[in-house]
Chains A and B, each alone.
Chain A
């Protein structure tokens, strides 16, 4: 049976994740309502604007159901804004922010950590578990500061951590869904969804 994976679809890079998950052999559902979470074996929270996304998660009553899902051990992977939504603390490069989140991973996400859009970049990454470098795409990306020793760091750039695993919660500050390289999606499905 194909793994059945939800993609949060309130705003952002949704179709790109759906296409990648299908390419690695998954069935997918776009999650806009709590009932869309029924029966999923994993959840992907895409990039977008984290300030808009957290408001929509609250508005459409998805906060508690996603927390419950995480508590039952269902793997959740957030990319860019998705990783910010999953972090326990949020800071921002220039501004003081008081932004709520799902608080599912002991990580401080520093928003726009590299700067504004002019500082967005591409850089190949060494990722633990992948043999060859992976094309990293960073767009107004956060840096991730793990707050617990039990977190497993999967990749870093010179400024800090960009890919970390906290139990069943995976955070990446870059966008594998914007490349045509399916290895990170395949790794999430193999290690977190099927392996768990």
Chain B
């Protein structure tokens, strides 16, 4: 006797994201970096052409990565391989699914392809992660089919302040919705521009229906600990590792910090002797039109 097999379901998409909890997902630009990340204990790698810090410096249009580079990384590691598509660029998303990428990041770090619409993520077997700065943005992405949410932060700065702002905003608004009387939920949904069913879910459960990771500007074990203690489920580290003085050691330290995030004596131990952190950028030094977090809505 055998039963029907269903793939690409909401359960296996959001379930995959759940299995990444308490883990660190690292940006890598080639197979060697991917191996360093896996060896350090990353739960997944994000394959991309240039880390955000370089995209920021070099400018130009940032696009989906070269399929050959993605295949090289898939051949190099056994952990999940994620890749980014431009916001709204559903053809790039289709290509990434054809490459059997494990997770697609519809990312503001790349140059947006559509200023009004995001990808309809229900069309794909591959799960998507999307960035959000506030709760209503997170709920809109989930309504479009995102199986995982992350803060946008301000990628490529080594400055955690924006990720903290987004985390506090999303988590604070969740607490507020929980305390909101039931009869006000429809009005909240109207004001927020978010689907009523998801507003109701957050009110009833006090959390998003998908996991919520930290991303953007995380550069040290203490940054990772901070984001975990704020209540996020795991951490993306972009430029923070491979733009630092000793990537292998720093990567391992951040993994260890996330696994024991609430124990300061552990964070103190793993933070020692890491070499140079990436050089940071103050958010006020970035012109408004160059802020990546403002891309998408």
Q: List residues of chain A with CB under 8 Å of any chain B CB.
A: 9-16, 32, 47-49, 51-52, 55-56, 59-60, 80-81, 92, 94-95, 97, 111-112, 115-126, 133, 137-140, 157-158, 175, 178
Binds A, one of B5-13, B54-62, B83-91: B5-13
Q: List residues of chain B with CB under 8 Å of any chain A CB.
A: 1-9, 11-12, 15-16, 18-23, 38, 41-44, 75, 77-80, 97, 100-103, 125-127, 255-256, 258-260
B258 nearest in chain A by CB position:
A11
A60-B103 Cα distance, complex, nearest whole Å: 29
From the candidates B9, B78, B256, B259, name the one contacting A112 in the complex (CB within 8 A): B78
Residues on the B chain within 8 Å of A55, using CB? 41, 255
A164-B223 Cα distance, complex, nearest whole Å: 41
Whether A51 and B12, one on each chain, are in contact in the complex, defined by CB atoms closer than 8 angstroms, is no
Whether A178 and B15, one on each chain, are in contact in the complex, defined by CB atoms closer than 8 angstroms, is yes
Residues on the B chain within 8 Å of A138, using CB? 12
Main SS at interface, chain B: loop
B100 to chain A, nearest CB (A): 5
A172 to chain B, nearest CB (A): 14
A12-B18 Cα distance, complex, nearest whole Å: 7
Given A52-B41, A137-B11, check contact A13 B18 (CB 8 Å): yes
B233 nearest in chain A by CB position:
A15
A139-B21 Cα distance, complex, nearest whole Å: 14
Given A12-B22, A121-B12, A175-B15, check contact A133 B255 (CB 8 Å): no
A71 to chain B, nearest CB (A): 25
Whether A118 and B97, one on each chain, are in contact in the complex, defined by CB atoms closer than 8 angstroms, is yes
Residues on the A chain within 8 Å of B102, using CB? 116-117, 140
A125 to chain B, nearest CB (A): 8
Residues on the A chain within 8 Å of B100, using CB? 115-118
Residues on the A chain within 8 Å of B44, using CB? 49
A48-B234 Cα distance, complex, nearest whole Å: 12
A59 nearest in chain B by CB position:
B256
A97-B39 Cα distance, complex, nearest whole Å: 12
Beyond A121-B6, A122-B9, A124-B4, 15 additional pairs, beta carbon < 8 A:
A11-B258, A12-B21, A12-B22, A13-B15, A16-B18, A47-B19, A49-B20, A52-B79, A60-B259, A116-B100, A118-B7, A122-B6, A123-B4, A139-B15, A157-B2
A184 to chain B, nearest CB (A): 15
Residues on the A chain within 8 Å of B78, using CB? 51, 92, 94-95, 97, 111-112
A112-B258 Cα distance, complex, nearest whole Å: 25
**5 A–B contacts from the bound complex (CB under 8 Å):** A14-B21, A32-B259, A49-B23, A120-B15, A121-B12
B24 nearest in chain A by CB position:
A52
Whether B38 and A137, one on each chain, are in contact in the complex, defined by CB atoms closer than 8 angstroms, is no
A129-B191 Cα distance, complex, nearest whole Å: 52
